[in-house]
Structure 1
Amino acid sequence: MRDAVLIAAQSGRALAQAARRAGLRPYVLDLFGDEDTLELAAAHRTLPGRFGMARRGAEPVLAGLAALTEMAGDRVLGVLLGSGFEDAPELMARIAARHRLIGAGPGTVAALKDPLLFAALCQRLSIPHPRVTTEPVANRRGWLLKRSGGSGGSHIRAATAGCAPPDHYFQQRVAGRAFALNFLADGRGIATLALTEQWSRPSAVRRYRYAGAVAPGSGEPPPLADELLNEVISAVARLAEATALRGLASADLLLDGARWWLLEINPRPGATLDLLDRRRTPLLAQHIEASLGSLPSLDPSPVDAAGSEICYAPQRYASVPPLDWPDFTRDRPRAGSLVARDAPFCTVTAGGPDSRAVQQSLRDRAGAIAALLDGREDTHGYRHHAAEHQRAGRAAGRPSGH
């Protein structure tokens, strides 16, 4: 029997897919139980609630992992944590007391995701980082309000009057194109996987919500000079060493010509996992290797570019109808699920010779999903036969920041 891994995340599909590619049996605990997650998982448990893990309380998470452990048997490598634990180092510590964590530990996450501690660390290491504060700011138009440990951009607002609300902080606005340096860390150094470009898809109330990303092909010209890229890599490596970071992670950046700012470190596999897991060696196997303290050697970068984009629901779906999903979709809500208006509905993926071609394909495919939801027409030939049997499970609401 193959080894098993436990997965706990707001959405566990990408980690489950990466686990299957690495020859592992994934046992998944997440908020949604999407159709393709259930197809990938050896077993699944749905968590109650909508946002994060700490906000639901520790007990449902610990009980869900205990139930999955019993089903998985003796050959469990450990627990993979995805999104939702950024503001929950105490819960991570409780999980680590019962299971082996694969990836960043609770102390590392606490150091990287506390905005004031992180800003102080960047200052000590001479890394450019926007100013942060919880005190009132004089010129509110020059600042943003963010939730500590937030992910997906949906939590970002314009700065408000007075002190920042509990569990929030102000961050000074800086200009630039959004990128992420994706890397593996072993507690001492890093191995760079890709520099992915990201973009947002504003809604009426969520101007900075994450939309998608593209990983360039190996033959594309780099978006920044080698000297500047080396400066960024060196800075991230210093942070990884200072916080004993291990496993797959990413560093969010803003680049403006020869200037750059590090916004944050995401100490976990993130939204670009599908784009990164295209080398010959399965990325999750290398994530595990790095987590054990050994930095793996990387295979050559993929020749083609790849991208993914979130399709947000144009209206509220009290009960998602059965859909003939195109084969380029991921994170497919089950028939009967509740999806709120402006919440993530599904993800579309695309590959191509370069980033520009991939982004055009993503736009076309997002349009095909909109047409599918409208019931107007076929999805331009991108279709596949639905599975004959859909796994049972209760409907789950889907929040922004999926």
Structure 2
Amino acid sequence: AQAAKNVGLKPLVIDIFVDRDTQQYAEAFKQVSSLSEQQLVPVVDYFIQRYGVRHFIYGSGFEYYPESLRYLDNKLIVLGNSIDTFLRLQDKSDFFSSLDKLSIPYPEVCFVPPNNQAVWLVKPMQGQGGLGIQRYNPKHQADTPVYWQKFQAGTQHSVLFLADGKNAQVIGFNTQWTIDLGEGQEFIFSGIISSCDLLDEHKERITDWLDELVCEFRLKGINSLDFIQADEMVFVLEINPRPSASMQLYDADLIIWHIKASQGQLTDYALSNKGYTGYQIVYAQQDVMISEAFKWPDGCMDLPEFGVTCRTGQPVCSIIAHQKQAHLVINELQIKQLNLIKGFNTHGI
């Protein structure tokens, strides 16, 4: 909502959480308990009748509700990847077969339980942000569709890029990290920084892959590609076919670029970034209620309402930092998180 508001748009937001930031920047908002079609229909109908809205941009969460995207696509014009593209990328067999066809490396996958002694991860067929990814234990039975991928040690990265269905334009290479929240949630997305120690030859190779992937999947708008660097090798993990958290790392009108790229207009843009920006999610280490006495420090985003109780392991807010050097960004994020946790312990439950 903030990105759209900053460039003069009037965003109408449908969200599960509706944090204080969303309420501040949205022209109007509606809170839903899920992204199911049943929940969306009355809200979308209201926005169409009240505001005459014609277009929509989707974010995370529709991995679990593809039928809702079909409904939205029948009612409005999508700005971003088509629903067919989204569904193809959710079809892991199709995705990895396409990587094979393009000779793009990735950690080995299988669609039946592995029977060797290697370290494997079990991953949900539909997932986001690392939810549901855990180390494979043959004794544990999955209750939702999953696949298995061989664990690959290395540094986690992503590349944010624009696409017009034929070509890719890199916005930036990033480094990201995860947090272990326990109980099978060992690889939850935690933060990202607009710094990446990849060799130029690796960046060029990945950029070539992006051009091939854009053509293969007809990607449009803003996307991000997650990958792992291990010594001299780079392994692709997945494509996120929608605006992602890494958008916030770049000082540019990316939402406008997203719209134009979705409509086939991909031109050279100059980013004005100087230095590095980092973004991190702060998770509750224990149940904490946000009291009205709590004062949010500068650099905090996605703020919950006062009186809300954030349960252990749930996201409380996000923090952002910008410095001339990457290590100073990491230091600032760590300090901000520690101070927040101290504040929660003082003013919370």
* TM-score bracket, shorter-length normalisation: over 0.9
**242-251 vs 202-211, which moves further:** 202-211
| 2:224 is the alignment partner of 1:246 | no
| 2:43 is the alignment partner of 1:64 | yes
Give per-residue Cα distances to partners, 1:121-174, cap 9 Å, x unaligned: 100111001222221211365210111221111311111328865321111111
Percent of residue pairs bearing the same amino acid type = 28
Alignment of 1:164-175 (within 5 A): 165-175=143-153
Aligned equivalents of 1:96, 1:312: Cα separation in 2: 34
Q: Which residue of 2 aligns with 1:33?
A: 18
Aligned equivalents of 2:312, 2:47: Cα separation in 1: 32
1:210 corresponds to which of 174, 182, 189: 189
Change (3 A) 1:134 1:372: same
Residue 41 of structure 2 aligns to a residue whose secondary structure is helix
Return the letter of the residue paired with 1:320: I
Residue 97 of structure 1 aligns to a residue whose secondary structure is helix
Aligned equivalents of 1:107, 1:254: Cα separation in 2: 27
| 2:290 is the alignment partner of 1:320 | yes
Q: Which residue of 1 aligns with 2:256?
A: 285
Aligned equivalents of 1:254, 1:344: Cα separation in 2: 25
Aligned equivalents of 2:342, 2:142: Cα separation in 1: 41
1:28 and 1:43 in contact (8 A); partners too: yes
Q: Which residue of 1 aligns with 2:163?
A: 185
Gaps of 5+ in 1: 1-15, 217-221, 377-402
Query: Offset of 1:229 from its aligned partner?
Result: 1.0
Residue 71 of structure 2 aligns to a residue whose secondary structure is helix
Q: Which residue of 2 aligns with 1:273?
A: 247
Q: Which residue of 1 aligns with 2:331?
A: 360
Residue 273 of structure 2 aligns to a residue whose secondary structure is coil
Change (3 A) 1:352 1:77: farther
Aligned equivalents of 1:62, 1:84: Cα separation in 2: 16
Gaps of 5+ in 2: none
Aligned equivalents of 1:87, 1:172: Cα separation in 2: 24
Q: Which residue of 1 aligns with 2:59?
A: 82
Aligned equivalents of 1:68, 1:374: Cα separation in 2: 40
Q: Which residue of 2 aligns with 1:12?
A: none
1:82 and 1:270 in contact (8 A); partners too: yes
Aligned equivalents of 2:54, 2:233: Cα separation in 1: 42
Aligned equivalents of 1:285, 1:367: Cα separation in 2: 35
Query: Offset of 1:186 from its aligned partner?
Result: 0.4
Aligned equivalents of 1:304, 1:123: Cα separation in 2: 37
Q: Which runs of 4+ in 1 moved over 6 A?
A: none
1:178 and 1:254 in contact (8 A); partners too: yes
Q: Which residue of 1 aligns with 2:314?
A: 343
Residue 204 of structure 1 aligns to a residue whose secondary structure is coil
**352-361 vs 58-67, which moves further:** 58-67
2:121 corresponds to which of 139, 144, 155: 144
2:48 and 2:54 in contact (8 A); partners too: no
TM-score between the two structures when normalised by the length of structure 2: 0.94
| 2:89 is the alignment partner of 1:112 | yes
Aligned residues: 345
Query: Offset of 1:305 from its aligned partner?
Result: 0.5
Give per-residue Cα distances to partners, 1:228-256, cap 9 Å, x unaligned: 21111111221111111100000000001
Residue 158 of structure 2 aligns to a residue whose secondary structure is strand
RMSD: 1.8
1:87 and 1:149 in contact (8 A); partners too: yes
Return the letter of the residue paired with 1:132: V
Q: Which residue of 2 aligns with 1:392?
A: none
